[in-house]
Structure 1
Amino acid sequence: MKTIYLIFSLTLFSACSNPKSKSPEEVTQMVLESFYARDNEMLKTYTTQTGYQGLMQIQNFFVEDTETELGFKVVQQTQEGDTAWVKCTINYLDRPETFKLVKEDGQWKVTEKELREKSPI
């Protein structure tokens, strides 16, 4: 009887536990790494549907370069509710780039900025 109770308790605990959500900075880095490596499955995991479509439209203009390190560095980050903004630099870009993230199903995902939307950073 104790064994059944123990198995039931462990099953209930593991079913109710929520995996740790990645931070906006971690998600932004994963999106950039998957974008330049052309790992579109990972890219799709960490972007909204519109974010993914937008990135796919511009991905073909970039040549895959596996020799250069990404060199991801966060310059500034802000978060308000279910929206976050991450300004970062990478070795592929001449100037910092700002990404908008939203929480979707409890996970941060990169999305497109709305028309004429300005980031707070």
Structure 2
Amino acid sequence: MKNYFFILVLGICVSCAETQMSPAMTAQKVVESFYSKDNSQLKKYTTSASYETFLSVQDMFESQNSSASNFKVLDESMDDKTAWVKFSTNFEDNPETFKLIQEDGMWKVTETDVREKSPF
């Protein structure tokens, strides 16, 4: 009987736990949700300020199929609280860089400070 209870509790814990995505996976999610205009996903993986910024420029871009992004990580840097991801996509000619921070136990894309430079 104890084994059944243990298995039940373990199953509930595993099913309820959300796996934290890496900074690179989060950056890909943000890029693809931005271009496909999936704003619920965009909001989930960005800070409040970044989300508002993304929304303000989103209408300037045509909706794209997220599977066509060809997202490729070019460089990545991470410490305990901040991560940087440099990547390329089919949507832009030049590589882009996102700054990510830990918020609510998740990596989220945030805005770069005025004089802040990426490590790349």
Establish whether TM, by shorter chain, passes 0.5. Answer: yes
Q: Tell me whether 1:48 sits opposite 2:64 in the alignment.
A: no
Query: For this pair of structures, how many residues does the alignment match?
Result: 118
After superposition, the Cα gap between the structure-2 partners of 1:79 and 1:93, relative to the gap in structure 1 and judged at 3 Å, is same
The code of the aligned residue for 2:20 comes to S
2:52 aligned counterpart, secondary structure: helix
Which runs of 5 or more structure 1 residues have no equivalent in the other structure?
A: none
Task: Identify the range of structure 1 (99-108 vs 65-74) with the bigger mean alpha-carbon deviation.
Answer: 65-74
Superposed, 1:25-64 pairs within 5 Å as 25-64=24-63
Counterpart of 1:21 in structure 2 is 20
- Distance between the aligned counterparts of 2:5 and 2:23, measured in 1? 37
Q: Tell me whether 1:109 sits opposite 2:108 in the alignment.
A: yes
- Distance between the aligned counterparts of 2:66 and 2:112, measured in 1? 31
1:78 aligned counterpart, secondary structure: strand
- Distance between the aligned counterparts of 2:17 and 2:66, measured in 1? 37
Tell me how far 1:51 sits from its aligned partner.
1.1
The code of the aligned residue for 2:79 comes to E
Give the TM-score normalised by the residue count of structure 2.
0.86
- Distance between the aligned counterparts of 1:89 and 1:12, measured in 2? 39
| Structure 1 moving runs of 4+ over 6 Å | none
Identity, % of aligned positions: 41
The RMSD of aligned alpha carbons is 2.5
Tell me how far 1:65 sits from its aligned partner.
3.0
Which runs of 5 or more structure 2 residues have no equivalent in the other structure?
A: none
